[in-house]
Structure 1
Protein backbone atom coordinates (compact mmCIF):
# COMPACT_ATOMS: atom_id res chain seq x y z
CA UNK A 1 0.00 0.00 0.00
CA UNK A 2 1.22 3.49 -0.83
CA UNK A 3 3.31 5.04 1.94
CA UNK A 4 1.10 8.14 2.27
CA UNK A 5 -1.98 6.02 2.94
CA UNK A 6 -0.21 3.96 5.58
CA UNK A 7 1.27 7.10 7.12
CA UNK A 8 -2.18 8.64 7.40
CA UNK A 9 -3.61 5.70 9.35
CA UNK A 10 -0.43 5.47 11.43
CA UNK A 11 -0.77 9.16 12.35
CA UNK A 12 -4.35 8.49 13.45
CA UNK A 13 -3.11 5.60 15.65
CA UNK A 14 -5.44 3.28 13.74
CA UNK A 15 -2.75 0.76 12.84
CA UNK A 16 0.02 -0.67 15.00
CA UNK A 17 2.62 -0.87 12.24
CA UNK A 18 3.14 0.49 8.76
CA UNK A 19 1.92 -2.65 7.02
CA UNK A 20 -0.79 -2.89 4.35
CA UNK A 21 -2.06 -6.04 6.06
CA UNK A 22 -3.11 -3.86 9.01
CA UNK A 23 -5.57 -1.86 6.90
CA UNK A 24 -9.18 -3.07 7.04
CA UNK A 25 -11.47 -2.69 4.05
CA UNK A 26 -15.22 -2.54 3.54
CA UNK A 27 -16.18 -3.40 -0.04
CA UNK A 28 -19.29 -2.69 -2.13
CA UNK A 29 -20.55 0.01 0.24
CA UNK A 30 -23.28 1.00 -2.19
CA UNK A 31 -26.25 1.66 0.09
CA UNK A 32 -27.18 3.81 3.07
CA UNK A 33 -27.21 0.83 5.40
CA UNK A 34 -23.81 -0.43 4.22
CA UNK A 35 -22.33 3.06 4.61
CA UNK A 36 -23.70 3.43 8.13
CA UNK A 37 -22.23 0.04 9.02
CA UNK A 38 -18.82 0.87 7.53
CA UNK A 39 -18.60 4.27 9.22
CA UNK A 40 -19.50 2.82 12.62
CA UNK A 41 -17.13 -0.15 12.38
CA UNK A 42 -13.35 -0.64 12.49
CA UNK A 43 -12.90 -0.20 8.73
CA UNK A 44 -10.06 2.02 7.53
CA UNK A 45 -10.82 2.13 3.78
CA UNK A 46 -14.34 2.19 2.33
CA UNK A 47 -14.78 1.03 -1.26
CA UNK A 48 -17.86 1.74 -3.36
CA UNK A 49 -18.94 1.66 -6.99
CA UNK A 50 -20.21 4.58 -9.06
CA UNK A 51 -22.51 4.61 -12.07
CA UNK A 52 -24.52 7.31 -13.77
CA UNK A 53 -28.10 7.48 -12.52
CA UNK A 54 -30.69 6.05 -14.91
CA UNK A 55 -32.97 9.09 -14.84
CA UNK A 56 -31.11 12.18 -13.61
CA UNK A 57 -27.62 11.08 -14.72
CA UNK A 58 -26.44 12.09 -11.25
CA UNK A 59 -23.66 9.77 -9.99
CA UNK A 60 -25.08 7.09 -7.71
CA UNK A 61 -23.60 4.21 -5.76
CA UNK A 62 -24.25 0.90 -7.52
CA UNK A 63 -22.48 -1.97 -9.26
CA UNK A 64 -23.76 -3.24 -12.61
CA UNK A 65 -26.08 -4.88 -13.42
CA UNK A 66 -27.82 -2.74 -10.76
CA UNK A 67 -29.05 0.54 -12.21
CA UNK A 68 -30.52 2.18 -9.10
CA UNK A 69 -29.47 3.01 -5.55
CA UNK A 70 -30.83 4.56 -2.38
CA UNK A 71 -27.83 6.89 -2.10
CA UNK A 72 -26.17 9.35 -4.46
CA UNK A 73 -22.45 10.03 -4.58
CA UNK A 74 -23.01 13.48 -3.08
CA UNK A 75 -24.86 12.00 -0.11
CA UNK A 76 -22.22 9.29 0.23
CA UNK A 77 -19.35 11.80 0.28
CA UNK A 78 -21.12 14.04 2.77
CA UNK A 79 -21.50 11.05 5.06
CA UNK A 80 -17.85 10.07 4.77
CA UNK A 81 -16.24 13.50 5.14
CA UNK A 82 -17.09 13.77 8.84
CA UNK A 83 -15.04 10.65 9.57
CA UNK A 84 -11.34 9.90 9.29
CA UNK A 85 -11.68 6.95 6.95
CA UNK A 86 -10.15 6.60 3.51
CA UNK A 87 -12.21 5.97 0.39
CA UNK A 88 -11.82 4.08 -2.86
CA UNK A 89 -14.29 4.92 -5.62
CA UNK A 90 -14.65 2.41 -8.43
CA UNK A 91 -16.00 3.94 -11.63
CA UNK A 92 -18.22 1.63 -13.66
CA UNK A 93 -19.26 4.12 -16.34
CA UNK A 94 -17.40 6.89 -18.12
CA UNK A 95 -20.48 9.12 -17.92
CA UNK A 96 -20.16 9.23 -14.14
CA UNK A 97 -16.53 10.37 -14.00
CA UNK A 98 -16.66 14.12 -14.74
CA UNK A 99 -19.72 14.82 -12.52
CA UNK A 100 -18.04 12.82 -9.76
CA UNK A 101 -14.84 14.85 -10.03
CA UNK A 102 -16.88 18.04 -9.58
CA UNK A 103 -18.52 16.59 -6.46
CA UNK A 104 -15.21 15.44 -5.02
CA UNK A 105 -13.79 18.94 -5.42
CA UNK A 106 -16.87 20.49 -3.82
CA UNK A 107 -17.39 18.12 -0.89
CA UNK A 108 -13.84 17.10 0.04
CA UNK A 109 -12.23 20.51 -0.32
CA UNK A 110 -10.07 20.32 2.80
CA UNK A 111 -9.92 16.56 3.10
CA UNK A 112 -6.78 14.78 4.28
CA UNK A 113 -8.42 11.38 3.91
CA UNK A 114 -6.80 8.89 1.54
CA UNK A 115 -8.71 9.03 -1.76
CA UNK A 116 -8.25 6.28 -4.34
CA UNK A 117 -9.96 6.35 -7.74
CA UNK A 118 -10.33 3.03 -9.52
CA UNK A 119 -11.16 2.18 -13.11
CA UNK A 120 -10.56 -0.79 -15.38
CA UNK A 121 -8.99 0.89 -18.39
CA UNK A 122 -7.66 -2.10 -20.36
CA UNK A 123 -8.94 -5.52 -21.35
CA UNK A 124 -7.28 -8.27 -19.33
CA UNK A 125 -7.34 -12.06 -19.10
CA UNK A 126 -10.83 -13.32 -19.88
CA UNK A 127 -12.26 -9.82 -19.69
CA UNK A 128 -15.70 -9.52 -21.29
CA UNK A 129 -16.76 -6.11 -19.95
CA UNK A 130 -15.74 -3.11 -22.01
CA UNK A 131 -13.09 -1.07 -20.16
CA UNK A 132 -13.28 2.67 -19.67
CA UNK A 133 -11.38 4.64 -22.30
CA UNK A 134 -7.97 5.31 -20.67
CA UNK A 135 -7.24 8.82 -21.88
CA UNK A 136 -10.80 10.03 -21.29
CA UNK A 137 -10.69 8.79 -17.69
CA UNK A 138 -7.24 10.19 -16.97
CA UNK A 139 -8.09 13.53 -18.56
CA UNK A 140 -11.21 13.85 -16.40
CA UNK A 141 -9.46 13.11 -13.10
CA UNK A 142 -6.76 15.70 -13.81
CA UNK A 143 -9.31 18.30 -12.69
CA UNK A 144 -9.19 17.01 -9.11
CA UNK A 145 -7.76 19.46 -6.61
CA UNK A 146 -7.26 16.85 -3.89
CA UNK A 147 -4.41 14.36 -3.64
CA UNK A 148 -5.45 11.03 -5.09
CA UNK A 149 -4.08 7.58 -5.76
CA UNK A 150 -5.07 6.16 -9.14
CA UNK A 151 -6.05 2.50 -9.11
CA UNK A 152 -5.84 1.36 -12.73
CA UNK A 153 -6.71 -2.16 -13.74
CA UNK A 154 -7.81 -4.59 -16.39
CA UNK A 155 -11.21 -6.18 -16.98
CA UNK A 156 -10.87 -9.88 -16.19
CA UNK A 157 -12.82 -13.11 -16.14
CA UNK A 158 -12.45 -16.49 -14.48
CA UNK A 159 -13.79 -19.92 -15.39
CA UNK A 160 -13.60 -22.65 -12.77
CA UNK A 161 -12.06 -25.95 -13.82
CA UNK A 162 -10.17 -24.53 -16.79
CA UNK A 163 -6.65 -23.26 -17.43
CA UNK A 164 -7.16 -19.51 -17.05
CA UNK A 165 -4.45 -17.36 -18.66
CA UNK A 166 -2.66 -14.71 -16.63
CA UNK A 167 -1.71 -11.13 -17.43
CA UNK A 168 0.36 -11.16 -20.61
CA UNK A 169 3.48 -9.13 -21.37
CA UNK A 170 1.48 -7.15 -23.90
CA UNK A 171 -1.06 -6.23 -21.19
CA UNK A 172 1.53 -4.92 -18.74
CA UNK A 173 3.47 -3.12 -21.48
CA UNK A 174 0.30 -1.29 -22.55
CA UNK A 175 -0.40 -0.32 -18.94
CA UNK A 176 3.11 1.05 -18.52
CA UNK A 177 2.76 3.12 -21.71
CA UNK A 178 -0.38 4.71 -20.28
CA UNK A 179 1.00 5.33 -16.79
CA UNK A 180 4.60 6.34 -17.43
CA UNK A 181 3.86 10.07 -17.69
CA UNK A 182 1.38 10.28 -14.81
CA UNK A 183 2.30 12.25 -11.70
CA UNK A 184 -0.05 10.38 -9.36
CA UNK A 185 0.82 7.35 -7.28
CA UNK A 186 -0.60 4.36 -9.17
CA UNK A 187 -1.77 1.02 -7.84
CA UNK A 188 -2.62 -1.94 -10.05
CA UNK A 189 -5.50 -4.06 -8.72
CA UNK A 190 -5.07 -7.62 -9.96
CA UNK A 191 -7.22 -10.72 -9.76
CA UNK A 192 -5.72 -12.87 -7.01
CA UNK A 193 -6.38 -16.14 -8.86
CA UNK A 194 -4.22 -14.93 -11.76
CA UNK A 195 -1.22 -13.72 -9.79
CA UNK A 196 0.82 -16.93 -9.74
CA UNK A 197 0.94 -17.28 -13.53
CA UNK A 198 1.57 -13.54 -13.96
CA UNK A 199 4.16 -12.88 -11.27
CA UNK A 200 7.04 -12.00 -13.61
CA UNK A 201 4.91 -9.63 -15.67
CA UNK A 202 3.42 -7.85 -12.66
CA UNK A 203 6.74 -7.50 -10.86
CA UNK A 204 8.26 -6.03 -14.02
CA UNK A 205 5.45 -3.47 -14.15
CA UNK A 206 5.88 -2.44 -10.52
CA UNK A 207 9.61 -1.96 -11.02
CA UNK A 208 9.15 0.61 -13.79
CA UNK A 209 8.49 3.48 -11.36
CA UNK A 210 8.67 4.22 -7.65
CA UNK A 211 5.12 5.59 -8.00
CA UNK A 212 3.74 2.11 -8.73
CA UNK A 213 2.53 -0.36 -6.13
CA UNK A 214 0.10 -3.22 -5.57
CA UNK A 215 -1.27 -4.15 -2.13
CA UNK A 216 -1.63 -7.77 -3.24
CA UNK A 217 2.06 -8.00 -4.10
CA UNK A 218 3.27 -6.47 -0.86
CA UNK A 219 4.77 -3.11 -0.10
CA UNK A 220 5.89 -0.56 -2.63
CA UNK A 221 8.45 -1.98 -5.05
CA UNK A 222 11.04 0.61 -6.05
CA UNK A 223 13.55 0.74 -8.83
CA UNK A 224 16.81 -1.05 -8.07
Structure 2
Protein backbone atom coordinates (compact mmCIF):
# COMPACT_ATOMS: atom_id res chain seq x y z
CA UNK A 1 0.00 0.00 0.00
CA UNK A 2 2.82 2.41 0.90
CA UNK A 3 4.54 1.81 -2.43
CA UNK A 4 1.24 2.47 -4.27
CA UNK A 5 0.80 5.77 -2.44
CA UNK A 6 4.33 6.82 -3.35
CA UNK A 7 3.75 5.91 -6.99
CA UNK A 8 0.48 7.88 -7.04
CA UNK A 9 2.18 10.90 -5.53
CA UNK A 10 4.94 10.77 -8.13
CA UNK A 11 2.35 10.41 -10.90
CA UNK A 12 0.31 13.40 -9.74
CA UNK A 13 3.48 15.43 -9.22
CA UNK A 14 4.53 14.89 -12.83
CA UNK A 15 0.97 15.51 -14.03
CA UNK A 16 0.82 18.80 -12.14
CA UNK A 17 4.29 19.78 -13.41
CA UNK A 18 3.21 19.08 -17.00
CA UNK A 19 0.10 21.21 -16.48
CA UNK A 20 2.16 24.13 -15.16
CA UNK A 21 4.57 23.80 -18.10
CA UNK A 22 1.72 23.89 -20.64
CA UNK A 23 0.18 26.93 -18.92
CA UNK A 24 3.57 28.65 -19.00
CA UNK A 25 3.97 27.96 -22.73
CA UNK A 26 0.49 29.28 -23.48
CA UNK A 27 1.14 32.41 -21.43
CA UNK A 28 4.48 32.97 -23.13
CA UNK A 29 2.76 32.65 -26.50
CA UNK A 30 0.17 35.31 -25.67
CA UNK A 31 2.75 37.91 -24.66
CA UNK A 32 5.02 37.35 -27.66
CA UNK A 33 5.27 39.96 -30.42
CA UNK A 34 3.32 38.38 -33.30
CA UNK A 35 3.91 41.18 -35.81
CA UNK A 36 6.34 39.28 -38.04
CA UNK A 37 4.28 36.07 -37.86
CA UNK A 38 1.16 37.96 -38.94
CA UNK A 39 2.74 39.25 -42.15
CA UNK A 40 4.57 35.98 -42.78
CA UNK A 41 1.22 34.18 -42.71
CA UNK A 42 -0.02 36.63 -45.36
CA UNK A 43 3.05 35.82 -47.50
CA UNK A 44 4.10 39.47 -47.35
CA UNK A 45 7.59 38.76 -45.95
CA UNK A 46 10.32 36.41 -47.16
CA UNK A 47 11.59 35.55 -43.68
CA UNK A 48 11.82 36.60 -40.04
CA UNK A 49 13.55 39.89 -40.82
CA UNK A 50 11.85 42.93 -39.28
CA UNK A 51 13.68 45.17 -41.76
CA UNK A 52 11.27 43.95 -44.45
CA UNK A 53 8.33 45.59 -42.69
CA UNK A 54 7.36 48.90 -44.29
CA UNK A 55 5.90 51.85 -42.41
CA UNK A 56 3.51 54.68 -43.17
CA UNK A 57 4.31 57.52 -40.78
CA UNK A 58 2.11 60.34 -39.41
CA UNK A 59 -1.10 59.07 -41.04
CA UNK A 60 -3.18 61.83 -39.47
CA UNK A 61 -5.64 62.77 -42.25
CA UNK A 62 -8.20 61.06 -44.48
CA UNK A 63 -5.98 61.53 -47.52
CA UNK A 64 -2.90 60.11 -45.78
CA UNK A 65 -4.94 57.15 -44.51
CA UNK A 66 -6.25 56.34 -47.98
CA UNK A 67 -2.72 56.37 -49.34
CA UNK A 68 -1.43 54.18 -46.51
CA UNK A 69 -4.21 51.60 -46.78
CA UNK A 70 -3.83 51.25 -50.56
CA UNK A 71 -0.03 51.32 -50.55
CA UNK A 72 2.64 48.71 -49.77
CA UNK A 73 3.13 49.58 -46.09
CA UNK A 74 2.59 46.90 -43.48
CA UNK A 75 2.29 49.16 -40.41
CA UNK A 76 0.26 52.39 -40.26
CA UNK A 77 1.36 54.89 -37.61
CA UNK A 78 -0.67 57.89 -36.44
CA UNK A 79 -0.81 60.37 -33.55
CA UNK A 80 -3.77 60.67 -31.20
CA UNK A 81 -4.83 63.80 -29.30
CA UNK A 82 -8.04 65.09 -27.80
CA UNK A 83 -9.73 67.64 -30.07
CA UNK A 84 -9.09 71.17 -28.87
CA UNK A 85 -12.76 72.17 -29.19
CA UNK A 86 -16.15 70.48 -28.89
CA UNK A 87 -16.80 67.66 -29.04
CA UNK A 88 -13.79 66.64 -26.95
CA UNK A 89 -12.99 63.34 -28.61
CA UNK A 90 -9.82 61.61 -29.82
CA UNK A 91 -8.70 62.74 -33.27
CA UNK A 92 -5.67 62.02 -35.41
CA UNK A 93 -3.23 64.94 -35.14
CA UNK A 94 0.24 65.81 -33.90
CA UNK A 95 0.83 68.86 -31.66
CA UNK A 96 0.78 71.79 -32.21
CA UNK A 97 -2.30 70.82 -34.31
CA UNK A 98 -5.45 70.69 -32.20
CA UNK A 99 -7.92 69.20 -34.70
CA UNK A 100 -8.13 66.86 -37.69
CA UNK A 101 -10.45 65.85 -40.52
CA UNK A 102 -10.65 62.32 -39.11
CA UNK A 103 -11.50 61.04 -35.64
CA UNK A 104 -9.91 58.02 -33.99
CA UNK A 105 -13.22 56.12 -34.29
CA UNK A 106 -13.34 56.74 -38.05
CA UNK A 107 -9.65 55.90 -38.39
CA UNK A 108 -10.03 52.57 -36.57
CA UNK A 109 -13.12 51.64 -38.58
CA UNK A 110 -11.17 52.15 -41.81
CA UNK A 111 -8.02 50.31 -40.76
CA UNK A 112 -9.84 47.24 -39.44
CA UNK A 113 -11.01 46.33 -42.97
CA UNK A 114 -7.45 46.06 -44.29
CA UNK A 115 -4.61 43.64 -43.61
CA UNK A 116 -2.42 46.26 -41.97
CA UNK A 117 -0.96 46.69 -38.52
CA UNK A 118 -1.48 49.90 -36.54
CA UNK A 119 0.61 52.00 -34.19
CA UNK A 120 -1.11 54.68 -32.12
CA UNK A 121 1.20 57.35 -30.73
CA UNK A 122 0.07 59.29 -27.65
CA UNK A 123 1.48 62.70 -26.72
CA UNK A 124 -0.77 63.33 -23.70
CA UNK A 125 -2.36 61.23 -20.98
CA UNK A 126 -5.78 62.84 -21.43
CA UNK A 127 -6.20 61.15 -24.80
CA UNK A 128 -5.27 57.67 -23.56
CA UNK A 129 -8.37 56.72 -21.55
CA UNK A 130 -11.06 57.60 -24.12
CA UNK A 131 -8.90 56.15 -26.92
CA UNK A 132 -8.59 52.78 -25.20
CA UNK A 133 -12.37 52.70 -24.72
CA UNK A 134 -12.79 53.26 -28.47
CA UNK A 135 -10.16 50.67 -29.25
CA UNK A 136 -12.03 48.03 -27.25
CA UNK A 137 -15.36 49.06 -28.78
CA UNK A 138 -14.28 49.15 -32.43
CA UNK A 139 -11.65 46.39 -32.25
CA UNK A 140 -12.72 44.01 -29.48
CA UNK A 141 -10.56 41.17 -30.84
CA UNK A 142 -8.18 42.50 -33.51
CA UNK A 143 -6.43 39.84 -35.58
CA UNK A 144 -3.75 42.25 -36.83
CA UNK A 145 -0.83 43.84 -34.92
CA UNK A 146 -1.75 46.70 -32.58
CA UNK A 147 1.05 48.83 -31.10
CA UNK A 148 0.52 51.51 -28.46
CA UNK A 149 3.29 54.12 -28.25
CA UNK A 150 4.32 56.79 -25.75
CA UNK A 151 7.54 58.36 -24.49
CA UNK A 152 7.58 57.62 -20.76
CA UNK A 153 11.15 58.60 -19.78
CA UNK A 154 13.58 61.43 -20.49
CA UNK A 155 16.26 60.51 -23.01
CA UNK A 156 19.32 62.12 -24.61
CA UNK A 157 18.60 65.74 -25.46
CA UNK A 158 14.92 65.36 -24.65
CA UNK A 159 13.13 68.62 -23.84
CA UNK A 160 9.51 67.49 -24.12
CA UNK A 161 7.80 66.26 -20.99
CA UNK A 162 7.36 62.48 -21.09
CA UNK A 163 4.04 60.93 -20.12
CA UNK A 164 3.90 59.85 -16.49
CA UNK A 165 5.05 56.21 -16.72
CA UNK A 166 2.96 54.89 -13.83
CA UNK A 167 -0.25 56.46 -15.15
CA UNK A 168 0.33 55.36 -18.74
CA UNK A 169 1.35 51.79 -17.89
CA UNK A 170 -1.59 51.47 -15.51
CA UNK A 171 -3.96 52.57 -18.29
CA UNK A 172 -2.62 50.11 -20.89
CA UNK A 173 -2.12 47.14 -18.55
CA UNK A 174 -5.60 45.75 -19.33
CA UNK A 175 -5.04 45.70 -23.10
CA UNK A 176 -5.12 42.25 -24.77
CA UNK A 177 -1.96 40.27 -24.13
CA UNK A 178 -0.88 40.33 -27.80
CA UNK A 179 -0.81 44.16 -27.88
CA UNK A 180 2.72 45.53 -28.30
CA UNK A 181 3.69 48.40 -26.01
CA UNK A 182 6.07 50.83 -27.70
CA UNK A 183 7.80 52.62 -24.82
CA UNK A 184 10.39 55.27 -25.50
CA UNK A 185 12.43 58.19 -24.27
CA UNK A 186 12.00 61.86 -25.20
CA UNK A 187 15.01 62.82 -27.32
CA UNK A 188 16.53 65.73 -29.18
CA UNK A 189 19.13 66.11 -31.88
CA UNK A 190 21.04 69.13 -33.18
CA UNK A 191 23.47 69.10 -36.12
CA UNK A 192 27.16 69.42 -35.16
CA UNK A 193 26.39 68.92 -31.46
CA UNK A 194 27.92 66.20 -29.30
CA UNK A 195 25.28 63.53 -28.64
CA UNK A 196 26.14 61.00 -25.93
CA UNK A 197 23.47 58.46 -26.88
CA UNK A 198 21.31 56.40 -24.51
CA UNK A 199 23.04 56.12 -21.13
CA UNK A 200 23.23 53.17 -18.75
CA UNK A 201 20.99 55.04 -16.33
CA UNK A 202 18.35 55.49 -19.07
CA UNK A 203 18.24 51.81 -20.02
CA UNK A 204 18.25 50.71 -16.39
CA UNK A 205 15.29 52.98 -15.67
CA UNK A 206 13.45 51.56 -18.67
CA UNK A 207 14.14 47.97 -17.58
CA UNK A 208 12.83 48.78 -14.09
CA UNK A 209 9.57 50.00 -15.66
CA UNK A 210 9.22 47.10 -18.10
CA UNK A 211 10.29 44.17 -15.95
CA UNK A 212 6.82 43.74 -14.32
CA UNK A 213 4.95 43.99 -17.64
CA UNK A 214 3.46 40.97 -19.39
CA UNK A 215 3.08 42.53 -22.85
CA UNK A 216 5.68 42.47 -25.60
CA UNK A 217 7.64 45.73 -25.57
CA UNK A 218 9.46 47.52 -28.37
CA UNK A 219 11.75 50.46 -27.61
CA UNK A 220 11.68 53.25 -30.22
CA UNK A 221 15.27 54.51 -30.57
CA UNK A 222 16.53 57.43 -32.61
CA UNK A 223 18.87 56.40 -35.43
CA UNK A 224 21.11 59.45 -34.95
CA UNK A 225 21.79 58.37 -31.33
CA UNK A 226 22.64 54.72 -31.98
CA UNK A 227 26.36 55.07 -32.63
CA UNK A 228 27.30 55.44 -28.95
CA UNK A 229 24.52 53.30 -27.52
CA UNK A 230 25.22 49.74 -28.68
CA UNK A 231 26.37 48.35 -25.33
CA UNK A 232 23.40 49.87 -23.52
CA UNK A 233 20.69 48.89 -26.00
CA UNK A 234 22.02 45.39 -26.63
CA UNK A 235 22.06 44.87 -22.84
CA UNK A 236 18.44 46.01 -22.66
CA UNK A 237 17.40 43.50 -25.33
CA UNK A 238 19.12 40.73 -23.37
CA UNK A 239 16.88 41.32 -20.35
CA UNK A 240 13.81 39.70 -21.94
CA UNK A 241 12.84 37.90 -25.14
CA UNK A 242 9.70 40.09 -25.07
CA UNK A 243 11.82 43.11 -26.05
CA UNK A 244 12.67 44.57 -29.45
CA UNK A 245 13.95 47.87 -30.90
CA UNK A 246 12.23 50.15 -33.41
CA UNK A 247 14.71 52.49 -35.11
CA UNK A 248 13.26 55.83 -36.26
CA UNK A 249 14.62 59.14 -37.52
CA UNK A 250 13.60 62.76 -37.17
CA UNK A 251 13.49 65.20 -40.05
CA UNK A 252 17.00 66.55 -40.63
CA UNK A 253 18.70 63.93 -38.45
CA UNK A 254 22.06 62.65 -39.61
CA UNK A 255 23.25 59.07 -39.17
CA UNK A 256 25.38 56.57 -41.06
CA UNK A 257 24.60 53.14 -42.42
CA UNK A 258 27.51 51.85 -40.33
CA UNK A 259 25.69 52.82 -37.12
CA UNK A 260 22.75 50.68 -38.19
CA UNK A 261 24.89 47.79 -39.44
CA UNK A 262 26.56 47.46 -36.04
CA UNK A 263 23.19 46.44 -34.62
CA UNK A 264 22.10 44.43 -37.63
CA UNK A 265 25.32 42.41 -37.75
CA UNK A 266 25.26 41.41 -34.10
CA UNK A 267 21.60 41.20 -33.07
CA UNK A 268 18.68 39.01 -34.11
CA UNK A 269 17.12 40.46 -37.29
CA UNK A 270 13.63 39.67 -35.96
CA UNK A 271 14.13 42.01 -32.99
CA UNK A 272 14.95 45.28 -34.76
CA UNK A 273 12.28 47.16 -36.73
CA UNK A 274 13.25 50.10 -38.96
CA UNK A 275 10.75 52.94 -39.27
CA UNK A 276 13.05 54.60 -41.80
CA UNK A 277 12.90 55.77 -45.43
CA UNK A 278 12.57 52.82 -47.81
CA UNK A 279 15.91 53.65 -49.45
CA UNK A 280 17.75 53.15 -46.12
CA UNK A 281 15.72 50.13 -45.10
CA UNK A 282 16.32 48.43 -48.45
CA UNK A 283 20.06 49.07 -48.27
CA UNK A 284 20.14 47.36 -44.89
CA UNK A 285 18.47 44.28 -46.31
CA UNK A 286 20.81 43.91 -49.29
CA UNK A 287 24.03 44.72 -47.39
CA UNK A 288 26.04 41.61 -46.43
CA UNK A 289 25.64 40.73 -42.75
CA UNK A 290 29.37 40.71 -41.97
CA UNK A 291 30.00 44.22 -43.26
CA UNK A 292 30.87 46.64 -40.44
**1:108-127 matches, cutoff 5 A:** 108-127=139-158
Name the structure 2 match of 1:162: 193
**1:144-223 matches, cutoff 5 A:** 144-145=175-176, 147-216=178-247, 217=263, 218-220=269-271
Q: After superposition, what is the alpha-carbon deviation per residue over 1:14-70, rounded to whole angstroms, capped at 9, x for unaligned?
A: 122221111111000000000011011111100001111112321111111111111
* Contact 1:111 1:146 (C-alpha < 8 Å) held by counterparts: no
TM-score, normalization: structure 1? 0.94
Name the structure 2 match of 1:58: 89
If each structure's helix is expressed as a fraction of its own residues, which one has the higher value?
2
Q: After superposition, what is the alpha-carbon deviation per residue over 1:59-90, rounded to whole angstroms, capped at 9, x for unaligned?
A: 11111111111111000000001111000111
Gap regions ≥5 residues in structure 2: 1-31, 248-262, 264-268, 273-292
CA RMSD of aligned residues (A): 1.4
Aligned residue for 1:154, secondary structure, equals: strand
- Cα 1:220–1:146 shift into 2, 3 Å: closer
Q: How many residues align?
A: 220
Gap regions ≥5 residues in structure 1: none
Q: After superposition, what is the alpha-carbon deviation per residue over 1:71-130, rounded to whole angstroms, capped at 9, x for unaligned?
A: 110000000011110001110111000111101101111311100000000010110100
The reply on whether 1:31 has 2:61 as its aligned counterpart is yes
* Contact 2:93 2:99 (C-alpha < 8 Å) held by counterparts: yes
Name the structure 1 match of 2:28: none
* Contact 1:53 1:67 (C-alpha < 8 Å) held by counterparts: yes
Runs of 4+ in structure 1 deviating by more than 4 angstroms, as ranges, are none
Separation in structure 2 between the aligned mates of residue 133 and residue 3 of structure 1, nearest angstrom: 24
**1:38-77 matches, cutoff 5 A:** 38-55=68-85, 56-77=87-108
